[in-house]
Amino acid sequence: MKKFRIGVFGTRRGMDIGYNLYSLGCELVAVCDFLEDSLTRTRELVKREKLNTVICNDFDEFIKQDMDAVVLGNYFHEHAPYAIKCFEKGIHVISECISNSTMAEGVELLRAFKKSNSIYMLAENYPQMVFNREMKRIKDTGNLGKITYAEGEYNHPTDPYDVEFTKSYKYKADHWRNYTPSTYYITHSLGPCMWITGATPKRVSAYSIFCPETDPNAPVSGLVGDNTSIITTQNDDGSIFRVTGCSKFGGHHISYRVCGTKGSVENFRGTDDEIMLRYNSWSSPDGTEINHYKAEWNDPDEEMARNAGHGGADYFTARYFLRCLESGKQPEHPFDIRSAIAMSSVGILAHRSVLNGNVPYDIPDFDREEDCRLYENDRLSPFPGPDGSAPTIPCCSHPDFRPLDSQLEAYAKLFN
């Protein structure tokens, strides 16, 4: 079996995937990051593992290395241009979070992909959580009947006084997390719904809840005062999804529910692996109306997965990508490039729904030239440009929102 040569661009999240690929027998040949402190940690890993790995801070130098595949773990909203560079060299790509942060990038990404022989996979790991794997198993039995509705909530409130979190994840004023609309961080809620059900969104609308931090002394830097967006999609199979982006309401939880004409299955909020499977008395396949139990991996690599991040999901995501490389086949829905662009489009257009009176938007299909023409020049972005240019669309449902001066001063003091 060929030993695949892997490069990692963006070491903070990228090395989580890269190290799992290394543990699966791949060779880690090159690592690139623009942040020196991240490269320092990587050098320590390379030294500890005695790896012959090139470490650099220039992507053009990095891409010259002899690599089969690249992990894109760079900034959340900057993956598409680097994926295209990989395609041009015939390098396979596994990309973290959204595939494109503008609609024009979605057009460009698919066009470049079609010209290449590269495999592309979205590194969306939440479908590989133990409870989501069990929910898909249940759905695939057919016992739930026709799937009509699903929910996905990625709810991740943070303590504004968690200084270490702020320093680690919002370490400069123009960091992407300070500008990310509450609909954009979509894949952790939407991805599992798409994977379990097999459906793809075709239309989207959304509402945001404007609820900024009010403590005048809290070290706040984010320009988004929305703490939640409720996103509704109509799907290609007639079903409906209700999902969040990265929301911040109530207690921390990650939860999913899938409902069919005969029954429903969900994980318990706030638990790691508990499932509730419910049927009506007239539709239960075995006469049991409610079954509450713990989900199991039922996988020979369970022990290896337990040492990986995100409850083992990082390991199974890396393993799936490796199997795609070994077989020479593209990943299946929703990890393929078209699903990735559809997910990203949901996040982008949901935010436009919020800004434009909650009107619905059709999700484009960039295999259709008329849809490409509609969006090929659409570069509206809530993020500052890499050249320092200002955002071209508001990042918040209240476009004039900004933190209090006292909050910004408290944030600045963290770095003095």
**CATH code of the domain covering residue 240:** 3.30.360.10
How high does pLDDT run on average in the chain?
95
Q: Residue 262: give the domain boundaries.
A: 126-311+332-375
Would 394 be classed as within a structural domain?
no
Last residue of a domain, one of 125, 160, 176: 125
pLDDT of residue 393: 98
Structure tokens at 158: 């943070």
Same domain as 168, residue 153? yes
Would 324 be classed as within a structural domain?
no
More confident call, 272 vs 337: 337
Same domain as 213, residue 346? yes
Same domain as 130, residue 105? no
How many helices and strands, by DSSP H and E, does the chain display? Answer: 13, 15
**CATH code of the domain covering residue 12:** 3.40.50.720
pLDDT digit string, tens, across residues 56-110: 999 999 999 999 999 999 999 999 999 999 999 999 999 998 999 999 999 999 9
Burial of 307 (0-12, 13-18, 19+ CB in 10 A): exposed
Residue 271 predicted with pLDDT over 90: no
Is residue 40 very low, low, confident or very high in pLDDT (cuts 50, 70, 90)? confident
Same domain as 147, residue 235? yes
Same domain as 134, residue 235? yes
pLDDT digit string, tens, across residues 122-171: 999 999 999 999 999 999 999 999 999 999 999 999 999 999 999 989 99
Same domain as 102, residue 42? yes
Amino acid code (one letter) for 227: N
Same domain as 287, residue 217? yes
C-alpha closest to that of 113 among 367, 374, 375: 367
**Cis-peptide into 334, omega within 30 deg:** yes
- Token pair 């409906």 is found at 240
Total number of domains constituting the chain: 2
pLDDT digit string, tens, across residues 9-28: 999 889 999 999 999 999 99
C-alpha closest to that of 127 among 198, 69, 184, 39: 198
Same domain as 67, residue 27? yes
Q: Is residue 384 a contact partner of residue 366, using CB atoms and an 8 Å limit?
A: no
Bridge partner list, 6:
28, 69
Instruction: Report yes or no on whether pTM surpasses 0.85.
Output: yes
Would 88 be classed as within a structural domain?
yes
